[in-house]
Structure 1
Amino acid sequence: MPTPGFRPTHVVPGRGTPAWEAPDPARPTVPLDPLLPVQLLQRRGDWAQVLCSNGWSAWVDGRHLIAVPQDPPAPGGPLTATEDPRPLLARAEQALARYRAAVEEVARGTLDGEDFRRRTQGVRIGVVVDGESVWLYDAVQGRWAYGDGTALSTYATDEEPGERPAAPGYAPTRVVTPDGES
C-alpha cells in the first residue's frame, strides 16, 4: 500500500542499485529493484536518502538516480510530435513484424541460427499495455516512455547521468518534502 502523499521524484537505474541503512558503506541493506519509483528526501554529498512507496527509506548513491519528468500533459490537448504516441507505436509494430518474420523463416527452415541472429541484431522493443496506460521502449532515444493513450512523457532512460547534454527545460535534482514542496 503506497504511503499517503507519496510522489516519485526519481526512479532507480535499470540495473537496480545497492542501498544502505545510513550514508555509511559499512551498513548495507537490501538493494533497490530496477526502475523502482522513489522520492528524494535529502542529499549528503553523493548520498541520497530516498523514500519508497511502501514507506521504507534507504540511502543510495544519488548520482545514479534518474529524475522523473513532470507529469504528462493533461488529456484533451493538441498532440505535438514529441507527445504523440503513434510514431513510437508504429516503430514498435514494425520491429515486432521484422522479428516475427525472422522467427517464421526459422520455423520453416529457410533461415539458420546465424542468419537469424544477423537479421534480428539491433531489434529492440518493449511494450506494456495496462488498460489506458502504456509503457513503450524507444530504442532510438534509449528511453521508456509512459502514455495515457493521448500523450507520452519520458519515464526512465538507459543512459547514465551526464552522458547526454541537458535538454531544454532540464532541471537539476531537487529535494522534495513530504508535502510535495521543494
Structure 2
Amino acid sequence: MTSPYEFRPTHVVPESGLPTWESPDPARQSARLDPLLPVMLTETSGDWARVVCSNAWSAWVDGRLLITLPHRPPGTAQPLATTTDPRALLAALESALGAYRQLVEQYADGRLDLEAFRSRSAGLRIGAVIDGPAAWLLDLDRGRWYYCEGAQLQTYATVEPADTGRGPT
C-alpha cells in the first residue's frame, strides 16, 4: 500500500462527502469520506475509482463524483530560487496597469468605442496578487510567476508565454 510519504493527491472529495466500498461492488459499502478530503486515484474499473487517503487507507468510490485537482504548474519541481530585485517588474506591472486604466477611462467616457477598446487592449496581460507583505507577480516576458516578500523575488512557477504579437521571447 502507498506510504504517507508517497501521497500526492490527484482529486478531492466533493463538498457533500462520498460513500466508499471495500471493492467495486455496491453490496459492500464501507465508511464515508469527509467533504473536500484530498485523495489519490490509483485504479479505475468502469465508473468505480480506487482512492488512497493520506493515511494510506484505501477504498472504492464513484469516480464520476471526484473533483480533479489541476496539474502542478510547470517549473514548480525546482526549489524556489531567490532572483532579482522586484522593483523593475513592479514598474512594468504598474505601467501596464496604468495603460489599461487609461483605456478603461477612455471607454467609460465615450472617447473609445468597444471595438477600439478591444483592439487597443489586445495582448495586454498582467498579473499581480498582493496580500499584505506577500505578492505574486506575473512576468510574461520571462514566462514566470514570482513570489515576493520584501525586496527579493523567488520563482514560483513558469507559465506558457502568451501570444502578444511581439514574437518569441
Q: Give the TM-score band, short-chain normalised.
A: 0.5 to 0.7
| Partner in structure 2 of residue 98 of structure 1 | 99
- 1:140 and 1:106, CA in 2 relative to 1: closer, same or farther beyond 3 A? same
Whether the aligned pair in 1 keeps the contact of 2:74 and 2:157 (CA below 8 Å) is no
CA distance in 2, matches of 1:142, 1:25: 39
Report 1:134-145 matches (<5 A). Answer: 134-145=135-146
Whether the aligned pair in 1 keeps the contact of 2:80 and 2:156 (CA below 8 Å) is no
Superposed displacement of residue 69, structure 1: 3.3
| Partner in structure 1 of residue 41 of structure 2 | 21
Aligned length: 108
CA distance in 1, matches of 2:152, 2:45: 41
CA distance in 1, matches of 2:90, 2:148: 11
Superposed displacement of residue 158, structure 1: 1.6
Superposed displacement of residue 66, structure 1: 4.0
| Partner in structure 2 of residue 32 of structure 1 | 69
**Structure 1: gaps spanning 5 or more residues:** 1-5, 7-18, 36-63, 74-81, 161-182
Q: Which protein has greater RCO, CA pairs closer than 8 Å, 6+ apart?
A: 1
SS in 2 for 1:22: strand
| Partner in structure 2 of residue 71 of structure 1 | 80
**Structure 2: gaps spanning 5 or more residues:** 6-38, 50-62, 162-169
Report 1:96-175 matches (<5 A). Answer: 96-159=97-160
- Structure 1 length normalisation: TM-score? 0.50
Superposed displacement of residue 25, structure 1: 8.1
- 1:132 and 1:111, CA in 2 relative to 1: closer, same or farther beyond 3 A? same
Whether the aligned pair in 2 keeps the contact of 1:66 and 1:157 (CA below 8 Å) is yes
CA distance in 1, matches of 2:156, 2:86: 14
Superposed displacement of residue 71, structure 1: 3.4
CA distance in 2, matches of 1:34, 1:108: 42
Higher alpha-carbon Rg: 2
CA distance in 2, matches of 1:149, 1:69: 22
Alignment RMSD (CA, Å) = 3.0
- Structure 2 length normalisation: TM-score? 0.54
